[in-house]
Amino acid sequence: MLFDTTQLALERAIEGAGRRHEALAANLANANTPGYQRVDVDFHGTLASAVGRGEEAREALHAVSFSPARDASAGAVRADGSTVDVDAESAKLAANALEHQAAVQVAHARIGILKAAMGTGA
Amino acid sequence: MSLFGGLEISASALTAERLRMDVVAENLANAQTTRGAGGQPYRRKEVVLQERAGSFGASLSAAMGQQRGGGVEVAGVVDDPTPLKQVYDPGHPDADENGYVAMPNVDTVTEMVDLIGAQRAYEANVTAMQAAKQMFARTLELLR
Q: Indicate the residue of A30, A93, A97 with minimum beta-carbon distance to B51.
A: A30
CA distance A39 to A21: 11
- Would you state the torsion angle of the CA atoms of residues A118, A109, A96, A29, taken in this order, to the nearest 10 degrees? -50
List pLDDT tens digits, range A20-59. Answer: 999 999 999 999 999 999 999 999 999 999 999 888 888 9
Q: Which residues contact B56 (CB under 8 A, 6 or more apart)?
A: A39, A68, A70
Q: List the one residue out of B76, B58, B77 whose CA is nearest residue B8.
A: B58
Q: Indicate the residue of A14, A25, A68 with minimum beta-carbon distance to B128.
A: A25
A19:B2 CB<8 A: yes
Per-residue pLDDT at B67: 45
CA distance A68 to B125: 19
Task: Check if B13 contacts A (Cβ < 8 Å).
Answer: yes
CA distance A57 to A55: 6
Q: List the one residue out of B18, B10, B119 whose CA is nearest residue A26.
A: B10
Q: List the one residue out of B9, B77, B112 whose CA is nearest residue A21.
A: B9
List pLDDT tens digits, range B97-140. Answer: 999 999 999 999 999 999 999 999 999 999 999 999 999 999 99
CA distances from B21 to A76, B46, B101, B103 (A): 25, 10, 28, 22
Q: Indicate the residue of A36, A39, A86 with minimum beta-carbon distance to B124.
A: A86
Q: Is the pLDDT of residue B80 over 90?
A: yes
Test mutation, A12, A15, A28, chain B, max B CBs within 10 A = A28
List pLDDT tens digits, range B18-51. Answer: 999 999 999 999 999 999 888 899 999 999 999 9
B131:A70 CB<8 A: no
Task: Check if B123 contacts A (Cβ < 8 Å).
Answer: no
Which residue is closest to B144 within chain A, CA to CA? Answer: A108
Per-residue pLDDT at A2: 76
- How many angstroms separate the CA of residue B80 from the nearest CA in chain A? 16
> In the 3-class helix/strand/coil scheme, how is B78-90 assigned residue by residue?
EECCCCCEEEECC
Is residue A75 within 8 A of residue A28, CB to CB? The reply is no
A66:B138 CB<8 A: no
List pLDDT tens digits, range A101-120. Answer: 999 999 999 999 988 999 87
Q: What is the mean pLDDT of chain A?
A: 90
- How many angstroms separate the CA of residue B122 from the nearest CA in chain A? 9
List pLDDT tens digits, range A51-88. Answer: 998 888 889 998 988 888 888 888 888 888 899 999 99
Q: Is the pLDDT of residue B142 over 50?
A: yes
Is residue A12 within 8 A of residue A109, CB to CB? The reply is no
Is residue B42 within 8 A of residue B15, CB to CB? The reply is no
Q: Is the pLDDT of residue B3 over 50?
A: yes
